[in-house]
Amino acid sequence: MGKRKLGALEKLDADLSSLQYKCRRDPASYRDDFATQYQQYEALRDLLLQNPSTTDSQGLVSLKDLIDFVAHVADSYPTICAAFPDDLRELLSQHEELEPELRDKIVSAFVLLRNKDIIDSATLLNTFFPILVSTPSKSLRNLLFSKILSDLRSSNAKSRNHRLNKTVIAVLHTLLTRDRESPKGLWAVKITREMWKRQLWTESEAVALMEEAALSENEKVIIGGVRFFLGGDKEREEAADDSSDDDENVDMNKLRHQAGINKKTKKKARELKHAAATVKRKEKKKAAPHPLNFSALHLLRNPQGFAESLFSKHVQNSKSKLSLDSKLLVLQLVSRLVGLHKLTVISLYSYFLKYLTPRQASVTSFLACLAQSVHNLVPPDVLEPLVQKIANEFVSEASASEVCAAGINSIREICARQPLAMGDTLLQDLVEYRKSKDKGVQMAARGLLSLYREVGAELLKKRDRGKDAALGLRSGELRERRYGEEEVGEIDGIELLEKWKSDERRKKREEAGLDPDAPTDEEEEEAEDWKNWDVEDDDDSDDSGGWINVESDGEDISISDSEDESQPSSKKPKLDVSASKDKENQFMPSKSEDPEPKPISKLATTRILTPADLAKLQELRLASQIHTSLPSTKRAKLLAARHADDPLTAAEIEAPGLLGRKSTKEEKIAMAKADRETNHQSTTAKRKEKKAAEGKSSTNKEKARKKNFLMTLGKAKGKQKRSLVDVRKTLKGHLERQKRGGRRGNQ
């Protein structure tokens, strides 16, 4: 039914939109009219409440329009409209029966009231949230969800509204915990994920919420929570990247130049101003410090407990009704947690044993999970049967090459994390596969070999060890690391910095004519350091650029400098070998029998490294990398070094298996074509084709143009023989063509 045409009699002498305009312009004068309209609204509302399912679209003025009108001017008449928000709430509470258009209008009117600050966020959320959770209508749910999100975003836009966030999190928490079986908790997950993505919620409360979701009873909620941990941070990073490079570059110089030349209008001036503001904002953004956001996995309060309960509740529990895919997701999270936080969940490894057969569905994911959950504190005797089983099930001449490659590769991934899980006979067997015909198997076996040349060369046969490993073994430099032994932590390249610093100092003192080796007093050196605190930049930024105020999440870390003051002599960055050796012996007696222990630089522990120092450190590190030729294995390791937080996926396990595979012709063609556009056509040709497709015929002109040349000869006359009318036509035609721009026009 279209809009009814109004007869002359039906026309209103005044409509709501003009009244709205007038009310906004001069609220006091139109108070009576507004009061009348409000009464009309009340009358219609009473009518609706008598029978909420009626539609009043027939009448001239519908309740919908009135609600819209009242919401728009409500801020001008606070006394009259005092009960209006409550009315809307009451109407909305009958959302099942209302007609959809009216319902949506009420929702948007409510949001409008919020935007005009007539009601506060808490009221809005308290109204919308129960409906969001309970309504059966999908469109209403979508609408409410978007409104709730936008309200949360806008109230967090200028500064974080901690109080509101806390209440919302509390509400979501009760939603999750009240009924663990219902899928309603999904809304909590959705909202949290969205807020996490936009970096509005970055606290551990939100993470605790998702922890609760992952431990609920409903499969959808569980998967939502688990996916948050697995993908939420990546999503957040991507969103941040997107927002940073969305607006195009503005060339201010060009704009200014144009403004000098072109006609000066208000619009142009405004545009220039706008562009300047954009550039300024961008600069500011660039200079702003990178926000310190911890990933959700790091914000967990009790990773060990979480991993254990996840595993025992959803994975190990034979009564859990999760599908295999969901179970795998949970398993991924558990193994990720175990690997990342170096947790001890012993039953996890024996659980894997059942699933390590090539016939198991999505076995590569299981393999990836297993490898991911291994770390250097897992007892080797727990892992040995797993490795053995993988070798038995996957790696044999009879099995398919992809299977074999995936098996070896997963063994390599496990052993990279815990080298002690491998025995020498098995390793020597597996290494033999590098002579396989299949390229994938070959590569996987080579990977394993090169790994063990580095971490456990004595397990290999002598001829397999390679030059570097053999030399290292003989000199005692390469030793097998024992179970539980940790590498001594140090800052890469700190000794270079230390050396550079002492050289600098020596140089300076020589210039000043002092004894280069004499100890300096601390104060002087300190002052010098603070003086060139920052890296020498071109622009002198006087503000505290680069420093971020991290809001404490409860406890503060207090750093006392008293130690430094008490023993100034030990603070010497000089290579006081004996002193440093003493120190070292105190701390790690196990290492004292080493032939020549590397002195540990105490620069970083005794002094605050300034940004200038860090920049120099990076420079020195790069320089040393270029000069010293690293062993090939180490270089490869550097290349392959991944961030510890990155997950291991099934695709990575499968990767070598795909190496040897021959691609089909179609794939090759697709690869060669890449994303190039196929069959290029000129614009004219495209237009012609489109015209033909629409079923339009060609014009007379086109026909004439295409006509066979020989057929036109008969009609071609000499110029002299033309009639006057023809001449006139030609001349006129010429003029017209000039106007149009050529014979074919700009068609």
Partner 1 sequence: MGSSAKKKKEKKKDFQKAKLKVGKAKPKAANFTDTNFKAKSIVLTQQSLSTNAPTTTAQCAHHLSLLTHRSDTQRRDSLAYLTTAFTTSLPGSPLPQPASVILPSVQRLILDGSNAVRQQLLKLLQALPQDDIASHGDHLLLHVRAGMTHLATEIRVFALDVLEWLIGAAGDEIVSCAGGWVKTLKCFLSLLGWQNETAGKWSTTKSFSKSGGDAKVQAKQMSTLAVFLKAGLMPNQSAGAVVAVGDHFPLWQTEHYVLPDRSNAYSHLNLFGAPRDEEAEMYEDREDRQRVFHDRAEGAIVAALEQATKSGGELGRAAALLRKAVRDGMADFHQEDI
Positions touching partner 1 (CB under 8 A) are: 1, 4, 6-7, 9-10, 12-16, 19, 22, 29-33, 35-37, 39-40, 42-44, 46-47, 50, 56, 58-61, 703, 706-707
Of 187, 264, 261, the closest CA to residue 218 belongs to: 187
Nearer to partner 1, 513 or 714 (CB): 714
Our CB check for partner 1 shows the closer of 43 and 400 to be 43
Tokens 């404490």 belong to: 552
Sign of torsion over alpha carbons 152, 154, 160, 164: negative
Contacts of 495 (CB under 8 A, 6+ apart): 601
CA distance linking residue 337 with residue 207, whole number of Å: 14
Which CB, 106 or 215, lies closer to partner 1?
A: 106
Which C-beta is closer to partner 1: that of 65 or that of 211? 65
- Show Cβ contacts of residue 90 under 8 Å, excluding neighbours closer than 6 positions: 49
Q: Which helix (H) or strand (E) holds 470?
A: helix 466-475
CB nearer partner 1, residue 32 or residue 596: 32
Least distance to partner 1 from the beta carbon of 16, Å? 7
CB atoms within 10 A of CB 110: 25
Contact present, 496 and 617 (Cβ < 8 Å): yes
Nearer to partner 1, 20 or 364 (CB): 20
Concatenating the DSSP letter of every residue in 172-228 gives: HHHHHHH-TTSTTHHHHHHHHHHHHHTTS--SHHHHHHHHHHHTSS-HHHHHHHHHH
- Alpha carbons within 13 A on the beta-carbon side of 575: 12
Q: Which CB sits closer to partner 1, 525 or 702?
A: 702
Rounded Cα distance, 538 and 530, in Å:
19
C-alpha 445/C-alpha 412 separation (Å) is 8
If residue 309 lies in a helix (H) or strand (E), which one and from where to where? helix 303-310
Is 385 within 8 Å of 307 (Cβ atoms)?
no
In the complex with partner 1, the residue whose CB is nearer, 42 or 179, is: 42
Q: Which is nearer to partner 1, 36 or 150 (CB)?
A: 36
Least distance between partner 1 and beta carbon 119 (Å): 20
C-alpha 648 chain-centroid distance: 17
Question: To the nearest whole angstrom, how small is the minimum distance from the Cβ of residue 162 to partner 1?
Answer: 37
Least distance in angstroms from the C-beta of 30 to partner 1:
6
Tell me how far apart the alpha carbons of residues 227 and 210 are, in angstroms, rounded to a whole number.
10
Least separation, in Å, of the C-beta of 702 and partner 1?
10
